[in-house]
Structure 1
């Protein structure tokens, strides 16, 4: 994970383009449906970039990111993080051209999903419900919906083109090859039009389909039942509800109808029912993700206690880990917001966050301090930590540094008498520290042994000289 200054500088230039015409109605969709999910700064960035497009045009003039910083009154790091969220949710595509002097970017704005697409998405609508609550969600649905008027008693009487128009003077409609070329758009131009919203992506990368297929017999679910739409739905449901491959196998088998097809609606309902049983009717949020299979540290069964812990941290969500560490008490909203924040902003994997949660809570008397958590998370992001094992090794090697961060300003205060206390750390760190203590103890013992050997050798030499 690179920091913003490794990816973006104020002197880098950018141009804004649009995949198609953006309409005023899109502003309402983005403001009311997308803003609760990605926040006001992201929406402000989208609207600012949109405003740089001239009316009914697809390209803006070239500009510096420094100017964008001044316009929005934001640091470049805030703009970079907001840009990533817009990319992730499908509202922005980014293109980069490197040169020796500067980098040039193209920011292509994508239209949002239509209200119908959004409310039937199966994921974004659930996140929105979780974010705004039942009452506000109902208001938003009513705002973007209208009452259906029955047309049963009406018959279509619309005239067709051929009923209204006739084609006369056929010879006058002849066009030469030269004229045909003039009718086409010029080579470097394309007609301005409206494009479809960009679908959310990346779900297939976080799900092991090979393992899914290996555990389902062809006699139970035919291979042809896994259409592209079914595969997309499986990947999205696995991401949304944190369903592992083995549980998904059961849900898929249970969703096969009499025609040996996978009923997508039945699969969605089965996934939703499973989640509500597992999480006591709670709706999912970003903190309920689990470690992607491709980032698991071990493929075989665990042999040691540490390997068992690694496997456990890879298969539970950060929310579940908070529940376990607090003895079953429901995590507070503020704790979940801290976890969701670092998942979005630092893009750390759920298993890595589990290690972070355990390390911080045990060291700070079962409290999640936002600044301390974010500082360590930022360090791990810069170090590109992606697996549970890497996170544990990093916590061990940088323990003294993190300890000084926790003490903060207390280190600067001198005191005549310091209190001696036993440091509390996670169990998986005790072994490492015990080894280092033993090594330190061995050093004075080795010195004593060497001194004793030297004295014995001197006595032997004296005896030899006498003899």
Structure 2
């Protein structure tokens, strides 16, 4: 992925359009339901773009991104990152055109989900509940709902039908309408102003292994026709939301089959949610970045050295995959996952930085992943405002050099318990060594330690490939 300055520069021009009318009520939905998930910068960008089209209804004038930077008082990187979040959550579509005069964008605003869609979404409502808590979530539900109409058997409907009020047109008037039909339609290259309901977030069904799921389901218990398009979409969303494998999903489907051999979607959702809460001490998942955000990725060219390859790998791989590979393929425990989640949410460390944190922690603590040690590094890196993989690796090297200097000068108050096995990139002299060179470090005369290090290097090579 390219850096933000390769995707966007201040002189790039843009226009704003809308997929339909945006209503005043949408502002409340965006402020109270979407803002906790996407942040105030994203909301500010959306509302600013919206304000630009209000004067001209569906299209704004042409402006530069430098104007946006001044209006929002943020840098271009923040605008680019906010734009990506708006795109991901379904509030914005972006189109770009490049020609000899430069690059121009069209930002198409999409309306938010209405409150009923949001609270019944099955994904966004779960993330919001985890973010703001039970009490405030209940308060928002009351804010966006009201009592049902007091209609009962005591009231009789007396509404007149269309045909009871209006008469049919005469043949003459029908002929008049046909003669002037062109005047009644929208003009060429114009469209009537209207609004289409926003579609809920949908995870691509290709991301879930349905072949494995079908192989685990008994045809006599769950007929294949029960996996309708709607059911498949719900399964994909649940698998993403709760991290459910095809084998685990089979159990929830078996528990959601009704007497008509159909899968009850609500029972399926409830089963997955109850399982997740049981496994995670009654907690619900949070909305975090899956991999390193594009704005914090540095290795955009083809990596050549060992360090560049490692940086690129950490920038494009989810932390849970890194943890599993460094652990020899062993699945992380529930407590390990909880620590990872808390680090990314509480200390706001990007996924690539968390990947470096995982390797440092596992190597320096004999493959243990204790909360206290992890949080001590995470809080330190958060104070240093570390956002990139390279910065995290340099911070780890600096800390290691500091520890070695303290030992040499005798200023260290901590007693060394053992000799840590450190990652390759801790060695400043080996920064540009090719990943497959396999050269030994001439400074290390300890044959036994060197053999251990080579064995670990070989394992890491296999994992990283």
TM range (shorter): 0.7 to 0.9
What's the counterpart of residue 65 of structure 2? Answer: 65
Give the number of aligned pairs.
399
Query: Aligned partners of 1:354 and 1:198: how far apart in 2?
Result: 34
Query: Aligned partners of 1:424 and 1:116: how far apart in 2?
Result: 58
SS of the residue aligned with 1:104?
Answer: strand
What's the counterpart of residue 136 of structure 1? Answer: 136
What's the counterpart of residue 104 of structure 1? Answer: 104
CA separation of 1:156/1:306 partners in 2, compared to 1, >3 Å: closer, same or farther? closer
Compute the displacement of 1:87 (Å): 1.0
- Tell me whether 1:210 sits opposite 2:190 in the alignment: no
- Does the CA-based 8 Å contact 1:16-1:107 persist in structure 2? yes
Compute the displacement of 1:122 (Å): 1.3
SS of the residue aligned with 2:336?
Answer: helix
Question: What is the TM-score when the length of structure 2 is the normalising length?
Answer: 0.73
- Tell me whether 1:429 sits opposite 2:427 in the alignment: no
Q: What aligned pairs does 1:187-226 form with structure 2 within 5 A after superposition?
A: 187-226=188-227
- Tell me whether 1:321 sits opposite 2:336 in the alignment: yes
Compute the displacement of 1:217 (Å): 2.9
- Does the CA-based 8 Å contact 2:397-2:426 persist in structure 1? no
Q: What aligned pairs does 1:247-396 form with structure 2 within 5 A after superposition?
A: 247-286=248-287, 309-312=327-330, 315-316=331-332, 320-321=335-336, 335-338=343-346, 342-343=350-351, 353-354=354-355, 356-359=357-360, 365-366=373-374, 367-369=376-378, 372=381, 378-379=388-389
Structure whose CA Rg is larger:
1
Query: Aligned partners of 1:165 and 1:22: how far apart in 2?
Result: 33
What's the counterpart of residue 115 of structure 1? Answer: 115
- Tell me whether 1:148 sits opposite 2:148 in the alignment: yes
Compute the displacement of 1:155 (Å): 2.0
- Deviation track 1:341-369 (CA, whole Å, cap 9, x = no partner) reads 525xxxx6xxx945643425866953233
* C-alpha RMSD over aligned residues: 4.2
CA separation of 1:322/1:218 partners in 2, compared to 1, >3 Å: closer, same or farther? closer
CA separation of 1:64/1:124 partners in 2, compared to 1, >3 Å: closer, same or farther? same
Query: Aligned partners of 1:193 and 1:424: how far apart in 2?
Result: 70
- Does the CA-based 8 Å contact 2:202-2:233 persist in structure 1? no
- Does the CA-based 8 Å contact 2:14-2:63 persist in structure 1? yes
- Deviation track 1:206-234 (CA, whole Å, cap 9, x = no partner) reads 42223222322322211111111111111
Query: Aligned partners of 2:140 and 2:324: how far apart in 1?
Result: 48
Question: What is the TM-score when the length of structure 1 is the normalising length?
Answer: 0.73
Compute the displacement of 1:135 (Å): 1.4
- Does the CA-based 8 Å contact 1:123-1:236 persist in structure 2? yes
SS of the residue aligned with 2:239?
Answer: helix
Compute the displacement of 1:119 (Å): 0.8
- Deviation track 1:244-264 (CA, whole Å, cap 9, x = no partner) reads 221112211222122111111
Compute the displacement of 1:52 (Å): 0.1
Compute the displacement of 1:77 (Å): 0.6
- Deviation track 1:171-202 (CA, whole Å, cap 9, x = no partner) reads 13304766323322122111000111132133
Q: List alignment gaps of at least 5 residues for structure 2.
A: 292-315, 365-371, 431-436, 448-465
What's the counterpart of residue 42 of structure 2? Answer: 42
Q: List alignment gaps of at least 5 residues for structure 1.
A: 298-304, 326-330, 381-394, 446-467
- Tell me whether 1:6 sits opposite 2:6 in the alignment: yes
CA separation of 1:424/1:188 partners in 2, compared to 1, >3 Å: closer, same or farther? farther
